[in-house]
Amino acid sequence: MASERFLAALNDQIVREFAAAHQYVAVGNYYAAETFPRLASFFYGQAEEERQHAMKMVGYMLDRDARPDVGAIDAPRQEFGDHVEPIKIALEQERKVTVLISELFEIARETRDYESEQFLHWFLEEQVEEEASMTDLLAVAERTRAVPMLLEEYLARDKPGARPDG
């Protein structure tokens, strides 16, 4: 049985994953309105990934005979100064999630909940990919600040965060 402490922390993370999905939809909407279709599509895809992460956690809680409580999420930020700012926010968000997933891992370890510790391995690996993707996208966005359509071209050519071995 998973510890109550772990389940409460995981439930909080579920809410944060849904909030991240909501924020990414807002970012996608911003880019769609600014006529950046590839950026919009990229962030809509990120939103779906975050929703899938939340649902994976929901499924785990149900498998452990715990009741998920998705609670309420705050309205996302919808206005941005330029095409770079949403990507900066996304990278900050991913870095925070990495810390929070690591904290969940620590709780599982401290409470000797080996099944939950194993469950979190996938999320730890996923966060490496998520941070790499946003770091790459931000680097290109910064370099293309004067000509933002070059960022669209980059997305057409390359998958941010992709590594030669992956």
User: Is 164 part of a structural domain of the chain?
Assistant: no
* Separation between Cα atoms, residue 1 and residue 140, nearest integer Å: 46
For residue 160, name the pLDDT band (cuts at 50, 70, 90). Answer: confident
Q: Residues of the chain with pLDDT > 70: what percent? A: 96
User: Is 166 part of a structural domain of the chain?
Assistant: no
User: Is 163 part of a structural domain of the chain?
Assistant: no
pLDDT in the model for residue 66:
94
* Separation between Cα atoms, residue 91 and residue 2, nearest integer Å: 31
Tokens representing 63 are: 């498998």
Closest CA to 129 of 162, 96, 157, 164: 162
Contact 19, 74 (CB under 8 A): yes
For the residues 27-45, what does the mean pLDDT come to? 96
For the residues 73-78, what does the mean pLDDT come to? 94
Q: Residue 71 is part of a domain; what is its CATH number?
A: 1.20.1260.10
pTM score of the predicted model: 0.92
User: Is 47 part of a structural domain of the chain?
Assistant: yes
For the residues 152-165, what does the mean pLDDT come to? 76
User: Is 17 part of a structural domain of the chain?
Assistant: yes
For the residues 21-31, what does the mean pLDDT come to? 98
pLDDT in the model for residue 1:
73
Number of domains present in the structure of the chain: 1
Q: Residues of the chain with pLDDT > 90: what percent? A: 90
The residues, ordered by sequence, that sit 6+ positions from 162 with a Cβ below 8 Å of its Cβ are none
pLDDT in the model for residue 165:
56
User: Is 61 part of a structural domain of the chain?
Assistant: yes
User: Is 45 part of a structural domain of the chain?
Assistant: yes
Print the domain residue range for 14: 4-157
User: Is 135 part of a structural domain of the chain?
Assistant: yes
Mean model confidence pLDDT for the chain: 93
